[in-house]
């Protein structure tokens, strides 16, 4: 069964450093997403991506965040200058996006720890 994959599973970085989180969505899906979950809090939407551009983004997704689909398979989230409060589990998801009530398929997540 096709699945969303994410790398790395755990990333430790120093405050102020850049990180890139990688995802491989399901191959025939059209919409891609990033969510994050700070420990003990809700899963929060960051951004959605469709047709090679951002289709929706939340207030969390400020100028220090960017997304890219550099080739036909990868979908990346870059954080330019990490802050302590960026420590969270980051989930990538994808969906067909063309049908009412489409489910989103989630990856296993990348745990980001900012020291």
Partner 1 sequence: GNSVTQMEGPVTLSEEAFLTINCTYTATGYPSLFWYVQYPGEGLQLLLKATKADDKGSNKGFEATYRKETTSFHLEKGSVQVSDSAVYFCALSPSGAGNQFYFGTGTSLTVIP
| Exposure class string for 70-90: b at 16+ Cβ within 10 A, else e | eeeeebebebeebeeebbbbb
**Please, which residue, 18 or 102, has the CB nearer to partner 1?**
102
Total interface residues for partner 1 by CB under 8 A: 32
Interacting span for partner 1 (CB under 8 A) from 12-20, 45-53, 63-71, 75-83: 45-53
Tokens 């969510």, residue located: 35
Binding track over 47-86 against partner 1, x by CB under 8 A: -x-x----xx-x----------------------------
Q: Is 33 in the site for partner 1 (CB under 8 A)?
A: yes
Residue 63: other Cβ atoms inside 10 A: 7
């Amino acid at each position: 069964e096709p699945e969303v994959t994410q790398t790395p599973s755990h990333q430790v970085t120093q405050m102020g450093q850049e990180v890139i989180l990688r995802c491989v969505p399901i191959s025939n899906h059209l919409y891609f997403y990033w969510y994050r979950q700070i420990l003990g809090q809700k899963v929060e939407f960051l951004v959605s991506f469709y047709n090679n551009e951002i289709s929706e983004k939340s207030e969390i997704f400020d100028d220090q965040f960017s997304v890219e689909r550099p080739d036909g398979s990868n979908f990346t989230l870059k954080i330019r200058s990490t802050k302590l409060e960026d420590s969270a589990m980051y989930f990538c998801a994808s969906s067909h996006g063309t049908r009412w009530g489409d489910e989103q398929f989630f990856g296993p997540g990348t745990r980001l720890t900012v020291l």
